[in-house]
Structure 1
Amino acid sequence: MNLPNSITMSRILCVPVLIWMLSPHFPHSGWHGEQELIASLFFILVSISDGVDGYLARHRGQITTMGMLLDPIADKLLIASAYITLVQFNPHVVKPWIAVLVIGREFVVSGLRSIASTEGFTIEASDVGKLKTVIQIVSVVATILDHGWYVWHFGWFIVPVDLIAVVGIYYVVIVSTISGVDYFVAFWKKIDKASAMTRKHDNESVLSRKKKDLPPAARNVT
């Protein structure tokens, strides 16, 4: 297993660690702010590894079928585990329906990509989809920190942690919905185009077979 795939696999193995960090069984649970800081830093590092393994795979020429399979699985598992755990960890911000919508969108897009792959085409990540990924990371970190702090005071400067968490989560809901629709529209256009080309090819094949079945004299009639 090459280095990029090892990093991707380690991200999958980090999922149960993140769940443990956000649970009451974590050793620093109940301490003011320590659990939240540790879990936030851990989630940020694991999220950064998503870009690192992709960068290494491209620049080392180590893009493999295993990596293409594991990378989206690792991403989906990390986001799904984060939002499901946050429903219990900070129910004030993450409601169950929010977790269902965000996670459902991830699996719907994965399903569309799988169907597209079997049809012989791909659906590239849109700018909205990339924006959604960044906002998801920010919203998860803010929601974790919101469990320990309502605001941060740095002298006269105030960071509204709770406001950032709430706005971030609902912004994720909006962007996830928009990007999901965007993926579906892109999929529909390509699948419709692929179906049209298939029908055209089938019609040409039928006409070719019919022409071959004609007598030699009839084939030359224009």
Structure 2
Amino acid sequence: MPSGKPLITANQVTLARLIPMPLLSWLIYKGATENNDTYLWSALIAGTLIGCTDWVDGMLARKYGPTVLGGLLDPIADKVFIAFAYVPFADDTVGLVPAWACALMFTRELFITALRSAYEQRNLTLKTSYLAKVKTWTQMQGIGVMLLFPLVDNPRVLTWFLSISTVLPLVVMGAIWVFKRKFFRGGLVMAGSVAPILAMHLAFDTLWTIRWIMFAVVAITWISGLDYIAAGWKQLRGRGDFSRADGVRLIGSLALPGLLFANLVSVPLWVPAWPVFTVLSLELAVGGLDNLMSHHKRATKALAWGGRVLGVCALLVGGLLVPDHADLFLYGATAVSLVGVAAEFWRGRDYFLDKRIRERALREAAVHQPESQLT
């Protein structure tokens, strides 16, 4: 591992990735509402660049060594990126994909995050599977493809593009095997993810192709979490120490996405969408922090966690029941989430910012031997 200090750190790249994400959503909305391809092309380029930075910060982390802060920020940035891209797709003003499909996708994200916290508190450790990495790649690829299809009017151009995108990774994989005797499974993943899109493009029109792509993304998202649920849930129940804190986390993870997307498509059009972006991004972010705090046995208690999440859910229900004042309920939900999440990050700041406390926490955690380990 290089000993010199890099000019740009992985954490700086990750933070830089977070900054332009609202711009991506704005470009999608602007392009859809004004029927202006320039904005949509800009959104496609911006999304591609943001996605590429994920590879850059990963490369820097591998080269110069990971940090606790980087381990916290990187998955948060991935999830927030997905949120800022997919929420506009589900909004009626854009209307590319069904809102329920997006709600299902984010339900999985929050549910698995809640389960991970429960596992971490009990020293039940599950390694991230390769399928989970494929899930992230598929979600990001879906953003680009669903933006590209409405922009390219010529079906032949799309057919050639998708065909080349299917064959080229296989050629690269073969070349790596011939010259380096290494199996590049990423090439197989890339080709395997594009080939079904090509088949759908040949079989359906543009709108249905986009929707089938979304259904496939949701399916892969959930399939990637099934091993996590199956492997850990049985042991979690078998321990007999399921707590109220676990309950409020799991209930909140199941209720929140559906209520958010119901508000997105059910409230009057004059109600802004940014509260949905904000609440979803905040809750995805604090879930990552909760995993870290649970690992150090400093997880938030049931009352505080439930007060925030269930309070947000109650306000979202209010927005659905009183649509004429839905904006006020959404603003209230955003305020509750923002204050609660800010308090969580402030409370846990030492575990990802203060080096001495991080090291002490790691030493304390190392004293406790895991009673059970999931592999």
Equivalent residue for 1:7, pick from 13, 18, 40:
13
Q: Where does the alignment leave 5 or more consecutive residues of structure 2 unmatched?
A: 1-5, 163-200, 241-369
Equivalent pair of 1:29/1:35 in contact (CA under 8 Å): no
Pick from 45, 53, 61 the counterpart of residue 49 of structure 1.
Answer: 53
2 CA distance for matches of 1:155 and 1:103?
29
Instruction: List 4+ stretches of structure 1 deviating above 4 A.
Output: 155-159, 189-195
Matches within 5 A, 1:80-95: 80-88=83-91, 90-91=94-95, 93-95=96-98
User: In structure 1, which of residues 170, 180, 188 is the aligned counterpart of residue 233 of structure 2?
Assistant: 188
Match of 1:177 among 208, 213, 222: 222
2:10, 2:57 within 8 Å by CA — same for their partners in 1?
Answer: yes
Contact 2:124 2:371 (8 Å CA) reproduced = no
Identity of aligned residues (%): 28
Q: Is the 8 A contact 1:138 1:168 kept in 2?
A: no
CA distance in 1, matches of 2:35, 2:43: 13
Q: Summarize the Cα distance change of 1:187–1:22 in structure 2 as closer, same or farther, 3 Å threshold.
A: same
Task: Report the secondary structure of 1:66's partner residue.
Answer: helix
Q: What is the TM-score when the length of structure 1 is the normalising length?
A: 0.73
Question: Partner letter of residue 83 of structure 2?
Answer: A
What amino acid does structure 2 have at the position aligned with 1:137? Answer: M
Instruction: Give the aligned partner of residue 37 of structure 1.
Output: 41
Give me the CA root mean square deviation: 3.2
Change (3 A) 1:189 1:44: farther
Mapped partners of 1:193, 1:55: distance in 2: 40
Q: Which protein is bigger by CA-based radius of gyration?
A: 1
Higher mean C-alpha deviation, range 153-162 or range 6-15? 153-162
Preserved CA contact (<8 Å) 2:98 2:211: no
The one-letter amino acid paired with 2:221 is S
CA distance, structure 1, for counterparts of residue 58 and residue 235 of structure 2: 26
Q: Scaled by the length of structure 2, what TM-score is found? A: 0.45
Distance 1:156 1:100, change over 3 A: closer
